[in-house]
């Protein structure tokens, strides 16, 4: 290819030289001048070879790049084939571990308020000692003193001290509990519907309500058999330690612990 290019250029150069020679015969008697003596056909061939040499180098570089691209394509084809083979393999299903069970807090009624007072319902179970058993109680903030249902009340002395005996009403006459306890004092109770005054003995029981309320409490003894609950809890038991939610009942279940 280079030889044909050189041949064409040589022929064109010869034609140019002849034309230039003919046109210069009339105007220039000294051509070629000193500055043109080096411009010969051989010199032109050398210059053309030097000019075409970079093109050959560029072609060589392009051949190298093409070869590198071919090698990269072969590697890519090999990698794609390997991926296809892996994709055709059956995938073993690894069972996921079961999530650990999360403990959900038991849904319970609110038993405390912001100032740490215990919330009690309109009715609650109370543990009395003596006799060491649970009884249902009506919570009444309108009464100052707590009261408990008793029958056959008898005052007496023992070793020079005042005592009282009575049958504790449990709501079932066959299960009444006979008790003898020290007499703390007597109080006069004026009935709202009667003009007479009732003199009632006052005794002390150890009372436990729920897990947080546990204190000795004074009770007046009176026949409450006509009432629905044998025990009435008044303000003296609730003061500074509890608030009453009249919309709830038995917030505090009977505890197994005594």
Looking from the CA of 254 toward its CB, the CA atoms found within 13 Å total 11
Whether the CB-CB separation of 218 and 248 falls below 8 Å is answered with no
What are the residue boundaries of the structural domains of the chain, listed by start?
2-80, 118-245
- Residue with the bigger pLDDT between 94 and 166: it is 166
pLDDT digits (tens, 9 = 90+) for 210-246: 888 899 999 999 988 888 889 999 998 988 888 999 8
Whether the CB-CB separation of 139 and 229 falls below 8 Å is answered with no
pLDDT digits (tens, 9 = 90+) for 103-134: 444 434 556 665 788 999 999 999 999 999 99
CATH superfamily of 118-245: Acid Proteases (2.40.70.10)
């Amino acid at each position: 290819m280079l030889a044909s290019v050189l041949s064409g250029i040589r022929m064109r150069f010869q034609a140019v030289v002849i034309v230039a020679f003919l046109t210069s015969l009339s105007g220039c008697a000294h051509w070629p001048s000193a500055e043109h003596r080096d411009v010969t056909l051989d010199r032109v061939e050398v210059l053309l070879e030097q000019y075409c040499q970079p093109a050959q180098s560029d072609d060589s570089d392009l051949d190298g790049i093409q070869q590198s691209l071919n090698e990269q394509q072969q590697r890519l084809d090999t990698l794609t084939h390997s991926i296809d083979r892996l994709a055709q393999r059956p995938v073993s299903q690894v069972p996921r571990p079961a999530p650990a069970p999360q403990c959900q807090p038991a849904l319970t009624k609110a038993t405390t308020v912001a100032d740490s007072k215990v919330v009690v319902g309109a009715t609650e179970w109370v543990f009395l000692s003596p006799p060491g058993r649970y009884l249902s109680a009506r919570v009444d903030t309108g009464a100052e003193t707590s009261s408990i249902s008793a029958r056959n009340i008898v005052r007496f002395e023992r070793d020079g001290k005042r005592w009282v005996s009575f049958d504790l009403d449990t709501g079932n006459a066959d299960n009444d509990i006979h008790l003898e306890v020290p007499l703390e004092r007597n109080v006069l109770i004026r009935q709202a519907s009667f003009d007479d005054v009732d003199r009632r003995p006052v005794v002390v029981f150890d009372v436990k309500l729920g897990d947080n309320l546990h204190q000795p409490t004074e009770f007046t003894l009176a026949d409450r058999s006509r009432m629905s609950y044998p025990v009435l809890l008044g303000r003296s038991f609730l003061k500074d330690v509890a608030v009453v939610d009249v919309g709830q009942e038995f917030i505090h279940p009977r505890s197994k612990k005594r």
